[in-house]
Amino acid sequence: MERPLIDPVLEYNLRTVSDAMAKACTDSGRSPTDVRLLAVTKTVSADRINEAIALGVKQIGENRVQEYLGKKDSLHLDGVGRHLIGHLQTNKVRQIVGQVDMIQSIDSERLASAVSRVSVERGIVTPILVEVNIGGEEAKSGVSPDRLEELLEQIHDLPGIRVRGLMTVPPILTKEAEKRAIFSKMYQLFVDNRAKKLDNIDMVELSMGMSGDFVEAILEGSTIVRVGSAIFGERRYN
Ligand SMILES: *Cc1c(COP(=O)(O)O)cnc(C)c1O
């Protein structure tokens, strides 16, 4: 693969994020290999994503099915994990199943069943995370914490999907103690549901933490942080 020209700002940002992740791991007695960085590439051009991959990014996350499908053929995705992290509409399931390595935004039985059906048809198993609306916010997707257990019970036996853990986008909070409290609540849900040992569920991934709060998320047990603007700069929407 041809090495693209590298923007020193991108290189600096990636190093800064990786260093902060490593420090948060050390500070909380975790191994740096326990936490993976997923670079959130929504609105980012394929060239720039390829630069990030050349700099060592191993996981990417996109929000929109259409945007991802439009870019993917221009990406150097060898050895790179691809995640769908945005809200998924049932009518887009056919387009995305098989095109990503994990769907992180499953929040209803209906959606899980659709992914199950298409995966079975295609002879594959799609790893998924269940998205939890930990802050109980009206406008956000995700299952409410008190309905999580019920949803896991409804979907754990579906063929063609494999639950690998939980994902959350918490409310935007400014105080460190508040951020930690909400991540801690999420970690507790993760641990409680892991202890139930439902068949076909590997409760191993906890996807939480974004540019403004990934350090606090790691301190509270995150295994995947999803970082966009701290790597690529502020997003510009057209
Ligand atoms: C955009 C987005 C992110 C990354 O947000 P930043 O604040 O730019 O790091 C993470 N997760 C989801 C679900 C997103 O939509």
- Residue with CA at minimum distance from ligand 1 atom 6: 228
Q: What is the structure's pLDDT at 129?
A: 98
Look at residue 31 and tell me if it is in a domain: yes
Mean of the per-residue pLDDT values of the chain: 96
Residue range 49-102, pLDDT digits in tens:
999 999 999 999 999 999 999 999 999 999 999 999 999 999 999 999 999 999
β-bridge partners, 227? 39
What's the pTM value of the predicted model, to 2 decimals? Answer: 0.96
Distance 50 CA to ligand 1 centre (A): 19
40's torsion region: left (phi>0), alpha (psi -120 to 50) or beta?
beta
Q: What is the percent of the chain where pLDDT is above 90?
A: 94
Ligand 1 pocket, residues with Cβ under 6 angstroms: 40, 42, 63, 85-86, 169, 210-212, 226-230
CATH number where 75 lies: 3.20.20.10
Look at residue 19 and tell me if it is in a domain: yes
Domain that holds residue 143: 8-232
Distance 172 CA to ligand 1 centre (A): 11
Look at residue 219 and tell me if it is in a domain: yes
Distance CA 142, CA 161 (A): 18
Look at residue 238 and tell me if it is in a domain: no
Both tokens assigned to 161: 């999907």
Distance 123 CA to ligand 1 centre (A): 31
Mutate to test the pocket of ligand 1, among 41, 85, 103 (most ligand atoms within 8 A of CB): 85
- Residue with CA at minimum distance from ligand 1 atom 12: 85
Number of domains comprising the chain: 1
Look at residue 3 and tell me if it is in a domain: no
Q: Which atom of ligand 1 is nearest to the CA of 86?
A: 13
Residue range 92-131, pLDDT digits in tens:
999 999 999 999 999 999 999 999 999 999 999 999 999 9
Look at residue 2 and tell me if it is in a domain: no
